[in-house]
Structure 1
Amino acid sequence: MSPSPTWGLVATIKAPTKDILNFVAHHLDLGAHRVHVYLDAANPQAEAALRAHPKCRVILCDDDYWHRRRRKGRPDRHQPRQSLNATHCLNKRPQVDWLAHIDVDEFLWPASPLPEQLAALPEDTLSARIRPIEALAPDPADPPAAGTHWFKSCALLQMPRREQTNAIYPTYGPHLNGGFLSHVAGKVFVRTGLPDISLRIHNAFRDKVMDDAPAELPDTHLCHLHAPSWEDWQAAYRFRLEQGSYRDSLKPAPQPGGGGLNMHALFRMIEDEGGETALRRFYDEVCVASPALRARLAAHGALHSIPLALDEKRQKHFAGFV
């Protein structure tokens, strides 16, 4: 591997053109050598923009693609489609030394250049984990600067995380994992060019065995725009409840002695008690960057202000399209 390794991304995406190009432009601006986009649905405008950029690679995952890839055709659930596409990219032509598998609403934010961080990893490292921070919705009465987002983080270890979560989120903390609505596991970079490697949503596998001790990249955040506004959250809520990150099969937040509700059960309970009004109360306490919530987060070192400047980057890299 070169002393300054190259890095890139693979993502399976079904999203508006603006969101796709925001995602790609941000990572091109960071220095990604390749961005591989597997379009989960036809999007001619986004596809044209990506094909016009020398560092982008795009595959339309239509019926022909899935019948070539799998005898049974397109998997019904999006999670297997993401994993199959990421592994396909990894094993074909990733064209980089390190490949990260992330989603369209996730944005890497390194404190130092990523090639330096990756070059510093031990030579036997298979994968390296990037920990998430989750977006807060702007408080209409006290918004951040243009292009800037507030994010929350959580403690890495479970016992400090449980104490922190209960203190920061007084009503719903006991039911939440770090105060996050989505994953706390993060995503991984995987070293390319090795045999028998596959990717899932949060982990890399060698010979079908999970790399259960990946290295850490503590100088890089994974900025997750999971619920950046009430409207965005509601637009995705029912799908996530049935098939996505709030589905009933997922584990609950860790609790001393076990037990607790998973996100599916929590949201069902909230809706049963008060419908959309109760869901809005939950969202306002847990997800809106009110001065009170920001103060509690800051007291625990869990508040982050990130100037993503996505509109500016999109216009820079894809000026002729959006």
Structure 2
Amino acid sequence: MAEHLKLSFEIWPNMPWGRLEICGPAWNSWGDKPLEWCVRQTASYGYEGFDVIFPKIMELRPHEYTETVKNVRKAMDETGIAFASIGAHTTFVSPRYFDRENGIAKFKKAIDAAADMGAESVVTLLGDGYYDPPLYNLMTRQEAWHQAVTAIQETADYAKGKGVDVSIELLQGTIANTVETMIKLIELVDRPNVYTCVDVGTFYTTVKPRMPIKIAIEQLGDRIRNVHVKDEVGFPNIMQSQHVWFGGGFVDFQEMADALKSVGYKHFNAVEWEAWQAGGLFGVGEPSGIGLADFDRVAAEAKEFLEEYGWGKAN
């Protein structure tokens, strides 16, 4: 049984995915703040760790990078906060070889940044999907599996040399969209530093219809390296990723906390608030529009909410 579920907080840039229609050119109150400021602010709210969405690092000018690494490490030393992960969603599956090659190169840059700044792992989903977008119109399932496995093997071998773990997010729309397929993927990749990322919202909109949450977590067990904590409602489109404020969706946070503790999960659980981006039926954010963009309120209130349901040092 895990002693407690360590909470970390995910730091986002403005417009994290470019002008992608599903997300919109969105703004949040920390988006234009220096990374080291965000780290210290996260620590001030009592989080044990922080996570960074990779475009926050990518937006650094070359002459700013070395100084930022120094400042982030100084902030970590002075506050005692840990760098849990870098979220680097990238392309591993595509019929366009140049997109896939660029995606693998981007992920390796994220691994470099993790090694430089002291992050424990780098997380990605299997972009560009397979079921959404429907790449099955252009490539076979076998081709998609081969591309996914070989890309992860290549990046995992690169990461191992730098002491970094690779974590693949179980996510609707990709070929690793069930517990069964995620276990298959990890076994085919066959690398000791490759794990899975549990997205709590996804588990209640996509995994729970197939099996009970406790059984899903038990089957993944020590393969889990990262957890993204959010609430979702999941409208009837394939991505099912409409995010809502904590407590407003389908997630049973106490059930998930108990399941993770029962398998002795000891790594970080990242508050992943995405609903400040574009919502609506086909967005990723608040279904009724743009969600809460004040990240000071998000940091304080999300932690307060989760501690009531078995997460964090309070439990």
Higher radius of gyration, 1 or 2: 1
Could you state the TM-score of these two structures normalised by the residue count of structure 2?
A: 0.28
The higher-RCO structure (CA 8 Å, 6+ apart) is 1
Could you state the TM-score of these two structures normalised by the residue count of structure 1?
A: 0.28
Question: Higher strand proportion, which one?
Answer: 1
